[in-house]
């Protein structure tokens, strides 16, 4: 059974088509949901894609978080449903309080658009269960406000609870706290990532690494199946 | 109800790196203003609104800041109210 994956489109989203294509390529039954809709149409997974919702006015994600669809996204998240925010989607999840911390202007000020290396730190999330712990991925970044910040206590909690999901390796492009590239909430069903897995999910796009995120999503809810996945050494034949 | 003008100053939290401020500071040094010890860049918002009293205007504006205008994780804000209305 394919997962039903709702890709939310805000005014100013520009990675929605790539995200839909990446979810379809992983075998998901993916479809768009407009930000004014209040019905996620029985989504198993919700993805908030990258872009510049509302022109990044005021702060990135600050206005999109009040879009009508976000009530439904919050309800889906609090019921344990998987939610992935990519880049601007990550910013929206932080602004909405579904993830802690916030994203600020890159330490070097420049908008950065290039591949970076990240390490998968935990595999018990719906978006990394197909990966092996410590696996390194090359994913593109494309952001001006990508510096993840959290107060010292929040950062310590993220580390103690193993909620840093991806971390930049070698070079931290934006000056984020603890080299954080992506995090999860306490329940591990809401995940944000700054790099763009949907932009590198095929050898034709420079590499297949991003597909791991969408394959994980399609493979199952990590919270239920992580043990079984680990037991077969990262191979998921037949799932 | 009376018209009020609320000016809101939103600044990046002092403990966080402000790369815009840093760039401005460096530019000022390069232009021959070495006396600048620090520059920080924030936002200034001007709200024209109706309220019964100055206090009401401030209370409403504070709610707007908490809800939308400032991010409590990364920013601090201050507001000043100007207007015709007397104090309660």
Per the rule left: phi > 0, alpha: psi between -120 and 50, beta: everything else, B33 is beta
Give contacts of B40 with chain A, Cβ < 8 Å: none
Give the residue-averaged pLDDT of B24-30: 97
Quote the tokens at residue A67: 């879009």
* A76 flagged as catalytic: no
- Specify the CATH number for the domain of residue B25: 3.30.1280.10
SS3 B6: strand
Which SS3 state, helix, strand or coil, does residue A238 take?
A: coil
Cα(A6)–Cα(A41) distance, rounded to whole angstroms? 8
**Using the 8-state DSSP alphabet, how is residue A13 labeled?**
B
Listed in sequence order, the residues at least 6 apart from A21 whose beta carbon sits closer than 8 Å to its beta carbon are A198
Residue A198 annotated in active site? yes
**pLDDT tens digits, B54-86:** 999 999 999 999 999 999 999 999 999 997 655
Question: How confident is the model at residue A220, as a pLDDT?
Answer: 75
The count of structural domains within chain B is: 1
Contact B74 A102 (CB under 8 A): yes
| Element of type H or E holding A4 | strand A4-9
What is A4-231's CATH number?
3.40.50.880
Residues paired with residue A148 on neighbouring β-strands, in sequence order: A103
Domain residue limits at B67: 2-83
Residue B16: exposed, middle, or buried by beta-carbon count in 10 A (0-12, 13-18, 19+)?
middle
Q: Are the beta carbons of A102 and B73 closer than 8 angstroms?
A: yes
The residue in chain B having the minimum alpha-carbon distance to the alpha carbon of residue A104 is B74
Nearest residue on chain B to A152, alpha-carbon basis: B15
Nearest to B19 among A59, A105, A150 (CB): A105
Name the residue among A18, A82, A76 with its Cα closest to residue A51.
A18
For A142-163, the DSSP string reads EESS-EEE--HHHHHHHHHTT-
Beta bridge partners of A164: A183
List the catalytic residue out of A87, A94, A121, A129. A87
Closest chain B C-alpha to A176 CA, distance in angstroms:
10
Whole-angstrom Cα distance, residue A179 to residue A192? 14
**Alpha-carbon dihedral angle through residues A111, A62, A83, A196, given to the nearest 10 degrees:** -10
Give the closest residue to B12 by CA, choosing from B73, B75, B77: B75
Count of residues in chain B: 88
Q: How many CB pairs under 8 A join A and B?
A: 35
- The SS3 assignment for A177 reads helix
Position B40 in a domain? yes
Tokens of A128: 């990394």
Mean pLDDT, 10 residues at a time, chain A of 239 residues: 95 98 97 97 97 95 97 98 98 98 95 97 96 96 97 97 97 97 98 98 94 93 40 35
Q: Is residue B47 part of a domain?
A: yes
Q: What is the pLDDT at residue A155?
A: 98
Within a domain: residue B88?
Answer: no
Beta bridge partners of A182: A166, A193
CB A11 within 8 A of CB A53: yes
CA atoms within 13 A on the CB side of A185: 21
Tokens of B80: 């000043």
ipTM for the predicted complex: 0.86
Q: What is the pLDDT of residue A227?
A: 37
């Amino acid at each position: 059974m394919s997962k039903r994956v709702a890709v939310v489109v805000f005014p100013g989203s520009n990675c929605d088509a790539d995200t839909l294509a990446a979810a379809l390529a992983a075998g998901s039954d993916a479809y768009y949901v407009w930000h004014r809709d209040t019905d996620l149409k029985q989504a198993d997974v919700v993805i908030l894609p990258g872009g510049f919702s509302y022109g990044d006015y005021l702060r990135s994600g600050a206005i999109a978080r009040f879009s009508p669809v976000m009530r439904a996204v919050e309800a889906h998240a609090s019921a344990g449903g998987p939610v992935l925010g990519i880049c601007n989607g990550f910013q929206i999840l932080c602004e909405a309080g579904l993830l802690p911390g916030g994203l600020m202007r890159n330490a070097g000020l420049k908008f950065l658009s290039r591949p970076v290396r990240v390490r998968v730190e935990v595999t018990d999330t719906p978006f990394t269960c197909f990966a092996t712990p410590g696996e390194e991925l090359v994913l593109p970044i494309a952001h001006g406000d990508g510096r993840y910040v959290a107060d010292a206590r929040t950062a310590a909690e993220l580390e103690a609870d193993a909620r840093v999901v991806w971390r930049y390796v070698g070079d931290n492009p934006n000056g984020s706290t603890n080299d954080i590239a992506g995090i999860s909430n306490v329940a591990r069903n809401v995940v944000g990532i700054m790099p763009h897995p949907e932009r590198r999910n095929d050898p034709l796009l420079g590499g297949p690494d991003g597909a791991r995120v969408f394959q994980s999503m399609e493979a199952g809810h990590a919270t239920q199946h992580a043990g079984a996945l680990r037991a077969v050494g990262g191979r998921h034949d037949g799932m | 109800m009376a018209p009020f003008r609320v000016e809101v100053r939103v600044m990046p939290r002092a403990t966080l790196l402000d790369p815009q401020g840093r760039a401005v500071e460096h530019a000022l040094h390069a232009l021959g203003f070495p006396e600048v010890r620090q520059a920080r860049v924030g936002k200034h918002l001007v709200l024209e609104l109706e309220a019964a009293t100055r206090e009401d205007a401030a209370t409403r504006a504070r709610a707007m800041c908490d809800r939308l205008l400032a991010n409590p994780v990364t920013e601090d804000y201050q507001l000043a109210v100007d207007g015709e209305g007397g104090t309660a």
